[in-house]
Amino acid sequence: MEMTLAIIKPDGVARGLSGEIIGRLEREGINIFALKMIWMTKEQAKGFYKVHAGKPFYESVTDFMSSGPCVVMVLEGKEVINAYRKLMGATDYKEAAKGTIRHDYATDIEKNVVHGSDSPQSAAFEIAYFFNELEIFKR
């Protein structure tokens, strides 16, 4: 079993898509081990996306991610990193497959509704960025 970090980004929360996205996870049989709402500061967003420091979109994506509340979740399941990435669809919504969250709801490469860790290493960093062990209710 694997764990990953999922975020419903400020655009998803503001548009009232949290319930729909959580419902898709539940229907897919993915376990939610932790869930909370947070509002990152610019500095916290920069720390979260530090792997992208120096890229052209770094300032803009960290402004966006600190512009409003997000829902952050720890997901668990067999090969959940890939399973959840499949549910999300491609980062660029124009390339996202039909029926994926980003295909159905994203409006922009930045306002792409959801985030998911891309590897076990980034999942470990990203989960620990938002949750301590006591907040993760493992079955």
The reply to whether 61 sits near ligand CMP by the rule CB under 6 A is yes
Q: Which of 18, 31, 67, 91 binds ligand CMP (CB under 6 A)?
A: 91
Residue type at 95 in one-letter notation: E
Q: Is 52 assigned a catalytic role?
A: no
Please, what is the minimum distance in Å from the beta carbon of residue 53 to ligand CMP? Answer: 12
Nearer Cβ to ligand CMP (31/91) = 91
Sign of the C-alpha dihedral computed for residues 131, 58, 68 and 115 taken in this order: negative
Identify which of residues 34 and 61 has a Cβ nearer to ligand CMP in the complex: 61
Residue 98, φ and ψ in degrees, nearest 5: -50, 140
Which x/- pattern, by CB under 6 A, does the window 5-44 give for ligand CMP? ----------------------------------------
Residue reference for tokens 């907040």: 135
Helices 80-88 and 18-27, axial angle in degrees (round to 10): 130
3-state helix, strand, coil in the chain (%, to 5): 45, 20, 35
Chain residues that interact with ligand CMP, rule: CB under 6 A: 52, 57, 61, 91, 109-110, 112, 115
Residues with active-site annotation: 115
